[in-house]
């Protein structure tokens, strides 16, 4: 199911956020030892967030557009209380005190963080060995997927998360998305906050959605876009309803 379909079924009480999260965690356990798309899997935190999400559904609370939908993020994004390595052993013990803005906004929209995706060291170009296992293209495990957001592309292609956040400086969302057969969007610069994104080139870095469908990309982009006072170079303009425009 797409992320949009999952969110719709969860909102209708036809599907449990706990069941969905458990299904993704089981699939990660079964497949990711061969794919190396994750550096860190947040099993305990994800299941607790799923239980909270399910309680909100049962109470009839107002739900965000991504409520109960499992999300993975490139390990370049800082995550509160969760190891953030940027693909490097230099940051092998770095645990941030707050989420990157785009991660915080995805969580506020109801997404459940499953874990942190594998990447090239500090989002640099390919060539050096990956420090946390060599990511493999799920369509042909003798090949990779190119670009530093490779773990996010693999996780989406192999259904190891429903939504993913990547980062693109010179093609690092677009190349892996192409090679893994998924949707990747590098937004206009300034549409998404760079706060909490470990930089490679501050004037070019851009977060962006990596998803199975265009609709899913529109939903995620709409949830995380917009001005952020913690990043004064974000655009001060209203965020369109991207999904409505499809």
pLDDT of 125 strictly over 90: no
Quote the pLDDT of residue 213: 98
What is the set of active-site residues? Answer: 74, 148, 172
- Burial of residue 98 (number of CB atoms within 10 Å: 0-12, 13-18, 19+): middle
Quote the pLDDT of residue 245: 87
Task: Output the average pLDDT for the chain.
Answer: 96
pLDDT of 110 strictly over 90: yes
Q: CA nearest 158: which of 135, 127, 175, 186?
A: 135
Pick left, alpha or beta for residue 122 (phi over 0 → left; psi -120 to 50 → alpha; otherwise beta).
left
What's the pLDDT tens digit per position in 25-82?
999 999 999 999 999 999 999 999 999 999 999 999 999 999 999 999 999 999 999 9
DSSP per-residue letters across 3-64: HHHHHHHHHTTSS-HHHHHHHHHHHHHHHHHHH--EEEE-HHHHHHHHHHHHHHHHHT----
Pairing, β 163-168 against β 70-74 = parallel
Note whether 29 and 23 are within 8 A (CB).
Answer: no
Backbone angles phi, psi at 102, to 5 degrees: -65, -35
Strand order in the sheet with 38-41: 38-41, 112-117, 70-74, 163-168, 206-211, 183-184
Grouping H, G, I as helix, E, B as strand and the rest as coil, residue 176 is helix
3-state helix, strand, coil in the chain (%, to 5): 35, 15, 50
């Amino acid at each position: 199911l797409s992320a949009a379909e999952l969110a719709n079924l969860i909102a209708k009480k036809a599907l449990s956020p706990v069941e969905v999260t458990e299904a993704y965690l089981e699939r990660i356990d079964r497949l990711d030892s061969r794919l190396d798309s994750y550096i860190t899997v947040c099993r305990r935190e994800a299941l607790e967030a799923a239980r909270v999400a399910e309680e909100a559904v049962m109470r009839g609370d107002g739900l965000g557009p991504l409520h109960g939908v499992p999300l993975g993020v490139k390990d370049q994004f800082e995550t509160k209380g969760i190891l953030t390595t940027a693909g490097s052993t230099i940051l092998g013990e770095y645990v941030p005190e707050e989420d990157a803005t785009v991660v915080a906004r995805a969580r506020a929209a109801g997404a459940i963080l499953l874990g942190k995706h594998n990447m090239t060291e500090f989002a640099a170009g390919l060539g050096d060995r990956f420090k946390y296992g060599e990511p493999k293209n799920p369509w042909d495990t003798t090949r990779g997927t190119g670009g530093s957001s490779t773990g996010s592309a693999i996780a989406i292609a192999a259904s190891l998360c429903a939504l993913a956040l990547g980062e693109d400086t010179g093609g690092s969302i677009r190349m892996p998305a192409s090679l893994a057969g998924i949707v990747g969007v590098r937004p206009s610069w300034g549409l998404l906050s760079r706060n909490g994104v470990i930089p490679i080139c501050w004037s070019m870095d851009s977060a962006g959605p990596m998803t199975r469908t265009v609709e899913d990309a529109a939903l995620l982009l709409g949830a995380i876009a917009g001005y952020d006072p913690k990043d004064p170079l974000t655009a001060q303009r209203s965020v369109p309803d991207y999904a409505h425009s499809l």
